[in-house]
Structure 1
């Protein structure tokens, strides 16, 4: 009986991804798009054929990128939850054009990684052709009002929950037990946060990892954000230099309890056997710049991802142990460039914490059918901040002023998150993440019972945009209205 359950659990973990991929392929091939006049359709055929052939090559090689959602019938566009949230708000005109430009840029970002991992000798030429064909098809096809309406209806990002697993796992019957485990975990975290900082134990030396800065962060990056022009969607238009200054200004200090090599941050890599690991000789923290929404405001976000080689077993048959581990720390900035809210998860999507940086009115949240997030610390100091990280589990134990972090100081390097999509591998490159958005080889034993929650491969490391963060109910780390789920909209965002 138990072995049958294990097989079912593992199979269900991939069921949603497999079905979604097959469905997308079918819909892309015969999407029943509104018809175009014959001249326009004829002009679009060469680029349509190019994308069809290219996507076939990418799929056959297994190098598809799962970070953005493909849009059935529109192979030159991809979406994330942020842009998808505008689908029913953009009318014809500048707002629609800005929205489509964003969808095209996301497709090109994904294709850049796919083409490099494909190992195509003409990857640069194929990317240039993708950009040109995407622009041409957008101009040809989206001149049609019917096509514009059709696109608005199709742009959505599927959630990362498998309803089949919840049905077969008798999810309603499992929820009381899931809630019990969540309450116990929250209580344990609160007890740890209630301890005086000086009493926190460490099995080895405390290492203080500080960012190696390359930009002048003392200048008016906040003023540059406040003065930045907005496009027709209200999105601040920040150049790469301003983004970099903001990233370096808000990069945290990582104050890590170091009991072994598994507590040393590093750059993920693939070994010659195709197993994931981390190179501690290259201490890297990856960053990602993005946006979220609060009321009528569009707010910049800065995310920092640190990786460790493993979560080592703390006991025999530890169900939470496995290859690769890490922490994601996100900073949401207000329109004036000041931190508004911090939150964090592990790269599995687990252990979500919130830390408000400004006074915000909390919303009632949680309940029997929706897992609450945890607010473990009443107040956080002003930046710069240090994050106290526990040995082995890599749990976030405290957020303190950077000056409080004492220990041997070392530097880490900031690199764009996109570097994870083209890691060196054999003669070419390979993404850290598979076409299903998961990191192969990072499965955890907890999946054998948590599959009933509908999260594919619970505990495994996963790609940005694929972080389901609740076992009870539904929630994603990149939910575009995640702030409104926790806080009342302040006056300045109404």
Structure 2
């Protein structure tokens, strides 16, 4: 790891008390905030962030409603079909998303002060506003239809590119390429696990076993009774933090990687002296976050794990898929009892989505009519926290299987640590901390050569590494990793 990389935790322990003390002092002398003054402060915060090239894709800002935040899940609700209590709870969720957004923006702005000083009193009154200011669901001045329109999240497909690229024609050829790739993946999964080609040594990563006697990282299924709820269903907030962390530990996957080089070691992203993203491999991490997605009439909890690799090395001189940084996103969708309904995975570019369904979920028959149907290479294994077999270099997911009781002699064991996804917004560089993602949700300098021939599909820079909330997953049609209707569109619960 480069010498300029130091522990952010150390920095926070040294300076956070003084920052909080200063904020408290400012709050104590500020006059009581009014809704108008708070909205102005929120707008000023957004403008300052935009001036410095700082942005967030999840939660996103809500135009015309400065105190609120949104994402595709929140935007899926129609207030016209909600009861009064459900409207109030939906509004409370939007306000919580707005607060989470502001807290991340403030953290990122503080990081940016290493590059350019912040204006005096840039955060004056924000803490007071966050405590005192909120929209009321019973306020007659609140325009619910305007709010519903404002919270919508645009998709990540550019119609102009599809028009210029003669999409009706070019998508035929893209669809043939997708079909060929899917067929090769199905063929790969048809091989016995022991016959999967291997170019290096197998290294298996897992969470370290806890030091407390009698406990295991692979505990029995934990019901979701400790996750907060309201009239809309499951709700993610601080009250659920401990229960969520337990679930993340319980369902954390194992990684079995065909390791041929340092590019096959999962690690910690950073920026080097030249501003290029890299991955420090002294320690391995999974960056985790929780999300909610409707399925079969309920909001389902999803556990997301993101692993980063330094690169996808070229296999030949004209390899258009190679480039700086690569990764794997593994998602676990749970039912109300905390049991697995299905798994799915992508690379951070949104590419190579695969689904693994439990026996209680089945694909909809209508999928056969899709030009890019979901890829279902195998059933989900029965046990939680399965092992994910990854190829060398391309880091393709090759198999998902139940963790064996004993590790084979020819498999090296290592551990990884869970880290909050928000840490990716404060990556270390030679000048200080900065977000891993640029204002458009891309990891800078991770472009791939495939962008030169796949642009007619309407996706900006296909193959580049992306932030959550900015991951289109289909070349033919429109589909995102976080689409609120993703699961209901593709799958259904199997009838008993």
- Pair 488,219 (structure 1): closer, same or farther in 2 beyond 3 Å: closer
- Look up the match of 1:268: 269
Structure 1 stretch displaced more, 373-382 or 359-368 = 359-368
Q: What does 1:103-182 correspond to in 2, within 5 Å?
A: 103-119=94-110, 129-130=125-126, 132-134=128-130, 136-139=132-135, 143-182=139-178
Structure 2 counterparts to residues 319-468 of structure 1, below 5 A:
319-366=320-367, 370-378=371-379, 380-403=381-404, 406=408, 407-468=411-472
Q: Would you say the 8 A contact 2:218–2:250 is kept in 1?
A: no
Instruction: Supply the distance in 1 between the matched residues of 2:91 and 2:289 (Cα, whole angstroms).
Output: 21
Q: CA deviation at 1:89?
A: 5.5
Q: Deviations over 1:14-72 (max 9, x none)?
A: xxxxxxxxxxxxxxxxxxxxxxxxxxxx9433223212322221111111222333211
Q: Deviations over 1:44-103 (max 9, x none)?
A: 332232123222211111112223332111122111111111233664643223222222
Alignment check: 8 A CA contact 2:267 2:309 kept: yes
Displacement of 1:219: 9.8
Q: Would you say 1:49 and 2:48 are equivalent positions?
A: no
Which residues of 2 match residues 74-113 of structure 1 at below 5 A? Answer: 74-88=65-79, 91=82, 93-113=84-104
- 2:63 alignment counterpart: 72
Rounded to whole Å, the distance in 2 between the matches of 1:219 and 1:190 is 30
Contact 2:217/2:249 (<8 A) preserved: no
Which digits, 9 at most, give the CA deviation of each residue in 1:319-370, with x for residues without a partner? 0000000111110011111111000000000001010123323202446764
Change beyond 3 A, Cα 1:401–1:275: same
Bigger mean CA deviation after superposition, 444-453 or 50-59: 50-59
Aligned positions, number: 450
Structure-2 change in CA distance of 1:141 and 1:234 (3 Å): closer
Output the CA distance in 1 between the equivalents of 2:209 and 2:279. 22
Structure 2 CA distance, aligned partners of 1:43 and 1:455? Answer: 42
Other-structure match for 1:483: 487
Measure, in 2, the Cα distance between the counterparts of 1:261 and 1:405: 22
> For residues 390 and 460 of structure 1, what CA distance do their matches in structure 2 show?
19
Give the C-alpha shift of residue 483 in structure 1: 1.5
Q: 1:368 to 1:234 in 2, by over 3 A?
A: closer
> Which residue in the other structure is 1:9 paired with?
none
Q: CA deviation at 1:116?
A: 2.3
Could you tell me whether the CA contact under 8 Å between 2:348 and 2:465 is conserved in 1?
Answer: yes
**Larger helix percent:** 1
Aligned pairs for 1:225-264 (under 5 A) are 225-226=224-225, 228=227, 230-236=229-235, 239-264=240-265
* Equivalent-residue separation in structure 2 for 1:87 and 1:322 (angstroms): 41
Match of residue 22 from structure 2: none
Question: SS of the counterpart of 1:208?
Answer: strand
Structure 1 Cα separation of the partners of residues 336 and 198 of structure 2 = 39
**How far, CA to CA, are the matches of 1:327 and 1:488 in structure 2?**
26
- Cα deviation for residue 488 of structure 1 reads 2.0
| 1:185 paired residue number | 181
1:300 Cα deviation after fit? 0.8
Distance 2:313 2:191 in 1: 25
C-alpha offsets along residues 393-421 of structure 1, whole Å, 9 cap, x if unaligned?
10000001111764110110011111111
Q: Are the aligned partners of 1:217 and 1:246 in contact in 2 as well (CA < 8 Å)?
A: no
Q: State the alpha-carbon separation in 2 of the partners of residues 115 and 229 from structure 1.
A: 26
TM-superposed CA distance for 1:424, in Å, is 1.9
TM superposition shift of 1:380: 2.3
Alpha-carbon distance in 2 for matches of 1:106, 1:131:
15
How far residue 201 of structure 1 moved from its aligned partner, in angstroms, is 1.8
**Cα distance change, pair 428–115 in 1 and its aligned pair in 2 (3 A):** farther
The within-5 A match list for 1:181-220 is 181-212=177-208
Mean alpha-carbon deviation: is it higher for 105-114 or for 137-146?
Answer: 137-146
Give 2:49's aligned residue: 58
Once the two structures are superposed, what CA deviation does each residue of 1:108-135 show, in whole Å capped at 9, x if it has no partner?
3233232222235889x96794354356
Report the Cα distance in structure 2 between the residues aligned to 1:168 and 1:336, rounded to whole angstroms.
49
| Distance in 2 of aligned mates of 1:134 and 1:141 | 17
TM-superposed deviation, 1:227: 6.1
Give the whole-Å Cα distance in 2 for the aligned partners of 1:89 and 1:82. 17
SS in 2 for 1:488: strand
1:203-225 per-position Cα deviation (integer Å, ceiling 9, x unaligned)? 11100101125595579874541
CA deviation after TM superposition for structure 1 residue 144, in Å: 2.8
**Structure 2 Cα separation of the partners of residues 56 and 350 of structure 1:** 33
Residue by residue, what CA displacement relative to the aligned partner does 1:373-402 show, whole Å, maximum 9, x if unpaired? 111114524223100000001000000111
What corresponds to 1:3 in structure 2? none
How does the TM-score come out when normalised to structure 1? Answer: 0.85
Q: Which moved more, 1:273-282 or 1:479-488?
A: 479-488
Please tell me whether the aligned partners of residues 73 and 292 of structure 2 are also in contact (alpha carbons under 8 angstroms): yes
1-side partners of 2:92 and 2:72: how far apart? 15
Indicate the RMSD between aligned Cα atoms, in angstroms: 2.6
Could you give the per-residue CA deviations for residues 406-460 of structure 1, whole angstroms, max 9, x where no partner exists? 4110110011111111112344321111110111100000000101001111000
The 3 A distance-change label for structure 1 pair 278 and 229 is closer
Deviation larger for 127-136 or 271-280: 127-136
For residues 472 and 108 of structure 1, what CA distance do their matches in structure 2 show?
36
